[in-house]
Amino acid sequence: MAQDVIAIICDCDGTLCPDTTNQLVKELGVDPEHFWNRDVDRLVGDGWDHTLAYLNQLLDVTRDRLIDPLTRSKLEGIGKRVEFYPGALDFIPRLQVRLSDNAEYREAGISIEWYI
């Protein structure tokens, strides 16, 4: 039997929930407007890639403010407070049920994997 996997890949910049980076910046005690418009834009103006610039600034914030580093545990704690868009969390389980209820998909071995 052939098997086909449908991979659904989502990130957290507005796909499943509102922008989580601004939430993280606020939780670190930094004004997001200042963070983006001064700190990150300065690095981008110096030739940095935007993503690398803001990730570098996040690390600088934790170092400069002498706060706890961004550990997995800390990020998980912040992640638990993320508010997802309505229906976002049950979207994949609903698709999986639809696939399993469809004999043609079952026979073809089609499955869904979800990556964030």
3-state secondary structure at position 16: coil
| Virtual torsion, Cα 67, 68, 70, 73, nearest 10 deg | -150
Point out which residues pair with 112 in neighbouring strands: 6
What are the sequence ranges of the domains in the chain?
Answer: 1-18+88-116, 28-82
Are 108 and 6 a contacting pair, CB within 8 Å? no
Q: What secondary structure letter does DSSP report for 116?
A: -
Q: Per residue of the chain (116 residues), what is the pLDDT tens digit? A: 456 888 888 877 788 888 888 888 988 888 999 999 999 999 999 999 999 999 999 888 888 776 777 788 888 898 888 888 999 888 878 888 888 888 888 888 888 888 87
pTM for this entry = 0.65
